[in-house]
C-alpha cells in the first residue's frame, strides 16, 4: 500500500502523468505502420508540407507515404522488418519510439492500435476525484446529491 502511494505520488506530482501505463509490447508492429504525423496543431495532410519538414526532423526521413484519409497522410516506417517483427534500428530508434505509447499522444487525439499489448489506467479513479470535489466544492459549482433532491421535494 505504501509503495503504491509513493508510486502514485511520483507519477502524479513529479512526472505530471494522469495514467499508469500497463502491459508490454507484443511486437506486432502496428504502431510502426498507419502512422499519422502531427505537426504543431494539425496533422500533416499534404506531401508538399511533409517534404518541407523531412530534412528538419530525422524521424521523418524513415517515413514513407502509404495513403491518405480524412485525418491526413498515412505513413509507414521503413525500419520495421515485417518478417522478423523487429525494428531494424531498435538500439538507435528515435526517442518518440522509445517512449511510445506515451499518454501525450492521446492528448493529441491518437489511440492505441487494436491488439496493442499496452493499456492505460487512470492514476486517480473517478470515485477518488469525486470524493475530492465533494470535500472541496469548486466555486460557483453546485453538486446535486440525493439529499438536496429530498430537501427540494419537502419544501
CB nearer to ligand SF4: give 25 or 143.
Answer: 25
Report the C-alpha gap between 110 and 38 in whole angstroms. Answer: 10
**What minimum distance in Å lies between the beta carbon of 74 and ligand SF4?**
13
Report the C-alpha gap between 122 and 11 in whole angstroms. Answer: 11
CB nearer to ligand SF4: give 11 or 120.
Answer: 120
DSSP annotation of 35: B
* Spatial contact of 87 and 32, defined as CB atoms under 8 Å apart: yes
**What minimum distance in Å lies between the beta carbon of 146 and ligand SF4?**
43
CB nearer to ligand SF4: give 27 or 68.
Answer: 27
**Please, is 10 exposed, middle or buried when counting C-beta atoms within 10 Å of its C-beta (0-12, 13-18, 19+)?**
exposed
Report the C-alpha gap between 73 and 87 in whole angstroms. Answer: 22
**What minimum distance in Å lies between the beta carbon of 117 and ligand SF4?**
4
**What minimum distance in Å lies between the beta carbon of 67 and ligand SF4?**
17
How long, in residues, is the chain? Answer: 155
Q: Which residues bind ligand SF4 (CB under 6 A)?
A: 25-32, 62, 77, 79-80, 87, 89, 93, 97, 100-101, 113, 116-118
CB nearer to ligand SF4: give 7 or 26.
Answer: 26
Amino acid at each position: 500500500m505504501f509503495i503504491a502511494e509513493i508510486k502514485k505520488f511520483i507519477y502524479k506530482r513529479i512526472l505530471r502523468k494522469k495514467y499508469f501505463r500497463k502491459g508490454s509490447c507484443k511486437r506486432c508492429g502496428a504502431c510502426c505502420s498507419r502512422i499519422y504525423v502531427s505537426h504543431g496543431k494539425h496533422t500533416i495532410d499534404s506531401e508538399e508540407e511533409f517534404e518541407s519538414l523531412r530534412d528538419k526532423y530525422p524521424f521523418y526521413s524513415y517515413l514513407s507515404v502509404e495513403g491518405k484519409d480524412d485525418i491526413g497522410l498515412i505513413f509507414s516506417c521503413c525500419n520495421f522488418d515485417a518478417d522478423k517483427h523487429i525494428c531494424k534500428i531498435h538500439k538507435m530508434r528515435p526517442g518518440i519510439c522509445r517512449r511510445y505509447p506515451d499518454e501525450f499522444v492521446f492528448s493529441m487525439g491518437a489511440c492505441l492500435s487494436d491488439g496493442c499489448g499496452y493499456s492505460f489506467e487512470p492514476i486517480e479513479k473517478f470515485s477518488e476525484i469525486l470524493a475530492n470535489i465533494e470535500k472541496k466544492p469548486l466555486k460557483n459549482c453546485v453538486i446535486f446529491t440525493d439529499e438536496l433532491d429530498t430537501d427540494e421535494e419537502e419544501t
